[in-house]
Amino acid sequence: MSTKQNKNIKDHQVRFPANLLRPVSDFLVLQLKNLKINKSKISSEDPFKDKSRVLDNAATDTEAEEQFGHARVSAIKEELNRKSDQIKKALKRVKQGKYGICEDCGKMIDTDRLGAYPEATMCIDCEKKREK
């Protein structure tokens, strides 16, 4: 039996019950909405979005402050986008019936890990291997 066939068999054997996935899905959808709201809020804090800035002959210290503010907002938005992508991937796995199953080894992801990090797609062992 090939490795791919073996993995497919594992995927079909291990699944979370649908009644447990509904609250997880609802929670992830809510998290996604909150991230979208936070992204909108943080975007409004970007000093580069200030239309009067173009007409402003700012002093060097003001320019540095604006550059720092823009870099801060950009970094936060990047993190929010990364988190959104992870949640979307988890929601896709819920729909496919693969939520809570490690995408590398095919084993169940520990429920404590999923409780702390609901968008996890790998068990802790596979995650550690990938980080090395």
Domain assignments of the chain as residue spans, ordered by start = 1-16+100-132, 21-98
pLDDT cut 90: percent of the chain above it: 53
Beta bridge partners of 101: 108
Q: Rounded mean pLDDT of 68-83?
A: 93
Question: Interior CA angle at 20 toward 87 and 14, to 5°?
Answer: 85
pTM of the model: 0.74
Q: What is the pLDDT of residues 112-129, one digit of tens each?
A: 999 999 999 999 999 999
CA distances from residue 8 to 12, 76, 105, 111 in whole angstroms, order as listed: 6, 38, 11, 22
